[in-house]
Structure 1
Amino acid sequence: MPDAKKLARIHRVRTLQLGLVRADEMRAHEKHASETSLHNRIRALADAVAPAPDTRVTAASMVAQAHFRERLHQSAAAAQARVDTAELMVNRATEATRSAKRDQSAIEKLLERARRTALAKEMRALEETPPVSPLKVKRHDPC
């Protein structure tokens, strides 16, 4: 079993890694939220530009509206792809956080086991010490 110093060092490293992984997970969640809101805004724009019955519609304006709608639909498809990618990144980050937490918990259990072992060893050493004689307790140092 590794010694206490080595376990403490590993625990510090795992704690730092856990903090970094949690920060990555938070960034992934924020990116997912941002991409989702962008996708919703693009979808709302595409719905707002849907063709409406108008009596004064010219061919040029119909072509422009169709082109604009097509571009919005392409943007919506690209935004949906980014949302899907962000979801995958969130899932990976969540799994990485779980893994880092498991690693840290394992190290904490090893530290606790090492502490209990050292405590038991100290207790055994105290039990095995010879009893102190009352005569030796009253020994005086030279004045």
Structure 2
Amino acid sequence: MNRDTLARIHRVRTMQLTLARAEEARQRAALDDQQALTRRIAGLVDAVAPTQALHDAAQFAAVAHYRERLHQSAAAAAQRVAQAEVRAAAATAASQDAKRDQTAVEKLIDRARIEADRRAMRALEDAPVFRAGLLAKRHDPC
């Protein structure tokens, strides 16, 4: 491949790597948000635990209902955390693949540069040798 083609491929792979890293960061942020939500729900569940002060049956039933709803929310949040972990792992894998592709293109560019340097060195080695005195001196009319 010529140098322009490799440069174009390198630009595309660099852009893909940047996009993959941005997606990975978004997925990691989403995972952190889901984990924070899970912690907040767990804190609410602990705060709504039955206490000795609850003497009224209606109040006790309301607390039990609210606690049951929080447990359902906690289960849903745990499921969302698991899904976010899967998406974050997939984004990390995509980012690693993009980096591998970019590195491969960089190696191709280096190999092409080395091959061009070798060709230039061979051309210099194969060039005729010019020594002083071997060629007739040319004098223009004065």
TM-score, with structure 1 as normaliser: 0.91
**For residue 20 of structure 2, what is the aligned residue in structure 1?**
21
CA distance in 1, matches of 2:118, 2:24: 41
CA distance in 2, matches of 1:33, 1:131: 70
Runs of 4+ in 1 over 3 A off after TM superposition: 135-143
RMSD: 1.8
CA distance in 2, matches of 1:63, 1:53: 14
Deviations 1:76-115 (A, max 9, x none): 1111111111100110011001111110111111111110
> Sequence identity, in percent?
52
5+ long unaligned stretches in structure 1: none
Matched, 1:87 2:85: yes
**For residue 94 of structure 2, what is the aligned residue in structure 1?**
96
For residue 122 of structure 1, report the CA deviation from its aligned partner.
Answer: 0.4
Map 1:8-47; keep pairs closer than 5 Å: 8-47=7-46
CA distance in 2, matches of 1:36, 1:58: 35
Q: Which amino acid aligns with 2:76?
A: A
Q: Which amino acid aligns with 1:104?
A: Q
Q: Which amino acid aligns with 2:75?
A: A
Q: Which amino acid aligns with 2:51?
A: A
Paired residue secondary structure (2:74): helix
5+ long unaligned stretches in structure 2: none
CA distance in 2, matches of 1:64, 1:137: 113
CA distance in 2, matches of 1:137, 1:101: 59
How many residue pairs are counted as aligned between the two chains? 141
Matched, 1:66 2:31: no
